[in-house]
Amino acid sequence: MTPTRRRFIQAASALALAAPATIGRAQSDTIKFVSILDQSGGLDIYGKPMVDATRMAIEEINAAGGLNGVEVELKLYDPQSTIQFYTQFATQAAAGDRADVVHAGITSASREAIRPTFSRFETLYFYNTLYEGGVCDLNTFCTGSTPAQTVEKLVPYTMNKWGKKVYVVAADYNYGQITAQWVQKYVKDNGGETVEVEFFPLDVTNFGPTIQKIQQAAPDMVMSALVGGAHVSFYRQYAAAGMNANIPIASTTFGVGNEHKLISGSEGDGMICAYSYFEEIASSENADIVARFRAFMGDGAPTLNELAARSYEGAWLWAEAVKTAGTADRMAVIEALRGGLGILGPSGRVQIEPKTNHALQNVYLAELKDQSFNIVETYEAQPPTDTLLVCDLEADPGQSVFKFENGLAAAGIEL
């Protein structure tokens, strides 16, 4: 047994002995998979495609014979874009349903509201949403992209294309605040200047004063980390003011709620984004899964985006770990996930980086034209280097923290 493996098992055993709310998994004729994602409220533009992709994955898993001959039972909860409901459903999933795994959360606020519950009840947790990085938790697997995987590519590419002066607009909660710090760091690292940073609550719909400020500041580009259905108003109002013809936009979030289908081509043309997945990826695996998704959904199928693709891939990554482990037991599945197991999904190969429990994944830069993304750059097997700066679960499996909760500087990251 290697020293790393010995430390892992010893720490995991200590965590199990110390858990104050340990509950046994009742004997069942199914494996219980719980999804807690917003199907209504201001974040449903993200949650609905994620739920659709999750349903397809579980249906495919069961059609192939289930896992180790056992059917996977899917239970869906809609927290209605409300943190209180997230916490209630997390407790229900862990203590009431006794789920074998929970895939849940869109905003970082929702993740941090429920993550401690899953750790306390020893319920395996997957977070399949792009986020600001920094979660370091043996019980939590983050498959969404982090800033070092995407924003670190987006900033220099767009600065080289458009110029060095950057105006940042972002959602006013930890994702927007911390991502804005990453943007400022990457702008500085690449010899640029952040001329202004503005934050907006998720329910803000009037961006007129900000658009006027952007016009007066005359930056070379705007970097947006806005979130949710209300913030789609920014792009419409920006185009209506004629600003998109003069000061282009790059975004860390636009399109992951299929916003590019909600605004017109002329309103969105030229916007540049970087994600781990676009529906337009030219591969046989992606073409096959897109076709299956459209057949599964029928008329009106939503566009597959990073969040939906990661939900699908997250479900299959967990399923492969259960098959590899020969059981749905939490610690056996955790060990399988961290042992180099991977899948080939619509985005390419995805596997877990064991120091962080985050995904190694391909990243794509794309430019929007006529409501479709044209991929201009591809980066293969990108590690979560931001989280690797602050997390090493191989050395210390006992961690269960959000390292960037108080910002990058507090975590020792120089801005």
Query: Is-above-0.75 flag for pTM?
Result: yes
- Residue 176 amino acid letter: G
30 phi, psi to nearest 5 deg: -135, 160
Q: Specify the DSSP element, H or E, that contains 322.
A: helix 306-325
Task: Report pLDDT for 215.
Answer: 97
What is the distance between the alpha carbons of residues 342 and 351, in angstroms, rounded to a whole number? 4
Burial grade of 193 (CB within 10 A; 0-12, 13-18, 19 or more): middle
- Average pLDDT across each block of 10 residues of the chain; the chain has 415 residues. List them in order: 45 39 59 98 94 98 98 98 98 98 97 97 98 98 98 98 98 96 98 98 96 98 95 96 96 95 95 97 96 95 95 98 98 97 96 98 98 97 98 96 96 92
What is the distance between the alpha carbons of residues 345 and 324, in angstroms, rounded to a whole number? 17
402 phi, psi to nearest 5 deg: -110, 100
Q: Which of 93, 99, 108, 81 is nearest to 28 (CA)?
A: 99
Q: Hey, what domains does the chain have and what are their CATH numbers?
A: 3-145+281-362+383-408 (3.40.50.2300), 151-251 (3.40.50.2300)
Task: Report pLDDT for 173.
Answer: 94
Question: Which residues in 26-49 are b (16+ Cβ under 10 Å) and which e?
Answer: eeeeebbbbbbbbbebbbbbbbbb
Q: Which of 165, 28, 43, 174 is nearest to 113 (CA)?
A: 174
Q: Which of 65, 63, 62 is nearest to 73 (CA)?
A: 62
Alpha carbon of residue 278 to chain centroid: 14
Torsion sign over Cα 205, 208, 209, 214: positive
Q: Is 31 helix (H, G, I), strand (E, B) or coil?
A: strand
Residue 256 in contact with residue 279, Cβ under 8 Å?
A: no
Task: Report pLDDT for 14.
Answer: 39
Residue where the block lists tokens 């990251």: 413
Task: Report pLDDT for 300.
Answer: 86
Outline where DSSP puts E strands in 182-298: 193-200, 221-225, 249-251, 272-275
